[in-house]
Structure 1
Amino acid sequence: MFEHFFQCPYCWEEISVLLDPSVSGQTYIEDCENCCNPIEIRVSFENGELTSYEAVNIEQ
């Protein structure tokens, strides 16, 4: 597991998530720790290295 920092697509605050490099492709929902809005996170790893990271707002 390692910590990854990014900006919330709603409030633009820097927040962090823990990522598991043992799973090559991941998509999940995480609430912003600042504004509590849901963020869809898409992550890809190759050989334990982060190759793609996307955090997008979920229109509600």
Structure 2
Amino acid sequence: MEEEYFFECPWCGEPVSMLLDLSVSSQTYIEDCEICCRPIEIDYRSGGQEVVDFSARCG
């Protein structure tokens, strides 16, 4: 199951969204901001069908 998750880019402060795969209980990866193209380190945990912990840091 995928869920669209909204947050602010840690680089430019613009609102962005990403699809998170909630069938995976924990995931960390780097993805570029769709606005400023800088790398963001995404780290999230899911429980059931919801995001229980999320962080987006400068990558």
Which interval holds the TM-score relative to the shorter structure? over 0.9
Structure 1 length normalisation: TM-score? 0.92
Question: Which consecutive aligned stretches of 4+ in structure 1 deviate over 6 angstroms post-superposition?
Answer: none
Query: What displacement does 1:2 show?
Result: 1.1
The residue number in structure 1 matching 2:24 is: 23
Query: What displacement does 1:47 show?
Result: 1.5
- SS, match of residue 43 in structure 1: strand
The RMSD of aligned alpha carbons is 0.6
Listed one character per residue, the Cα deviations across residues 20-54 of structure 1 (whole Å, up to 9, x for unaligned) are 11000000101000000000000101122210000
Aligned residue type for 1:14: P
Structure 2 stretches lacking a partner, 5+ long: none
